Amino acid sequence: MSDFLLQLSYLFGSITFIVGLKQLSSPDSARKGNLVAAAGMLIAIIGTILFHQHDGTPIGNIPWILAAMTIGTIVGWMMAMKVKMTAMPQMVSFFNGMGGACAAIISIVEFHSHPDGAPGYILVVFLGLVIGAVSFSGSVVAYGKLDEKIKDFSAQWLTYFNLLLLLLIFVVVGIAVVQPALLGGSVLWILLLLSVLYGVLFVMPIGGADMPVVISLLNSFTGIAAAFGGFLYSNPVMLTGGILVGSAGTILTVLMCKAMNRSLLNVIIGSFGGSSASSKQISGDQVVKEISVTDTAILCAYANKVTIVPGYGLAVAQAQHICHDLEKKLEEKGVEVTFAIHPVAGRMPGHMNVLLAEADVPYPKMVEMEDANPQMNATDVVIVVGANDVVNPAAENDPGSPIYGMPVLKVWEAKNVIVMKRSMRAGYAGIENELFFHPKTKMLFGDAKEMLGKLVAEMKEL
């Protein structure tokens, strides 16, 4: 009976994971989907504690298990509740890294429990260790880079060193499986060291607008490592969850690479961002045209259509709510307002969508890039709030630019472009933005939240 109830809880958990993932595909049902999947996981955990037995013996150390779960729940809840939206990518990287660490620890425990296991079993153990360790160390570095605690480090030799290091990991795994006595028990720690080192060096040279892709890729690694844990324990709920996370992360990574018009291999070894420089130098005699808040308000109030392009600067300024107020004020004056969303805007997949949803911006108003670009020539005013690389014309007209070929929002096709920025500082990819000098562009310098607040106030006076 206990085994039946255990398998029933696992079946329920697996089904909720699938249903939850399906609901996560739509902003309207994403919150519910997250809760459904979490409920399924809770049922699976309770079922394991109550009904799992090994050779007729129930699980022991229940107080320790419950204590660990309690501590983890409290810490995770506090981190999630206190995190600012600007730090959400860092938190995602941190949590993902913890998942990778758990998968690696499972492999370490299983190797010591079954050192003389079949070659297939040992192969799964080592693969779980390698992928979990790479995900852990890579996610920690990604966290540090997103939080600006770790600087980009790029060198030509590092690409070749990483390839050799990866080859060495495969060779060690092969030897350990085919000739386990050759390396003995030390193989586990050799692989752990090599994998952690590879995870660090793999992420170190990657920067700029590629960070959302890296986060998605590392997330898929953690899912794959968890799936290997499911194989080791013959646990269907771990296997299902791992496969779903791994496959979803991989698909998202591929879609984001497609949105950037780049291959995954190019992202990994291309060292995009940071110190990269364009071959096309912007002439020093080009001038930037500024615009006042009053003139901006008049221009927007008498427009037929206004498109707002959010970027990471919007998150930094915590200006999503006042941006929604601007949208409502414009609509009161009969202006059509939409938000043009670039797939890699911000520093994690869907960052801008999450920000705007938090401010209660209606989902239909969030228009994806492929739908927004054809509407640009019919737009009277585009307001760029804190975005940079995703609206840079160099992606289309400068073959020497590191972002050349990356699809961008063609805001320069609108009748008027207003860019809200604190300064002329380059974006996350570290390159100059030609849009700032475009004949249709006017700069509104200042903190995004402050400027949007003044803009809303001016709207009320018109």
pLDDT value for 269: 62
Residue written as token pair 């693969």: 127
Q: Give the residue numbers annotated as catalytic, written as ranges.
A: 389
Per-position b or e across 265-293, b if 16+ CB within 10 A of its CB: eebbbbbbbbebebeeeeeeeeeeeebeb
CA 292 – CA 290 distance, rounded (Å): 7
CA 407 – CA 386 distance, rounded (Å): 18
| Domain annotation for the chain: domains and CATH numbers | 83-270 (no CATH), 293-461 (3.40.50.1220)
Please choose, from the candidates 365, 432, 353, 359, the residue with its C-alpha nearest in 3D space to the C-alpha of residue 395: 432
Label the pairing between strands 53-54 and 381-385.
unpaired
Convert the pLDDT of each residue in 30-55 to its tens digit. 889 999 999 999 999 999 988 887 76
Convert the pLDDT of each residue in 142-188 to its tens digit. 998 888 788 777 777 888 888 899 999 999 999 888 887 777 778 88
* Range in 98-102, 121-125, 211-215, 434-438 with the lowest mean pLDDT: 211-215
pLDDT value for 88: 79
pLDDT value for 455: 92
pLDDT bucket at 267, cuts 50 / 70 / 90: low
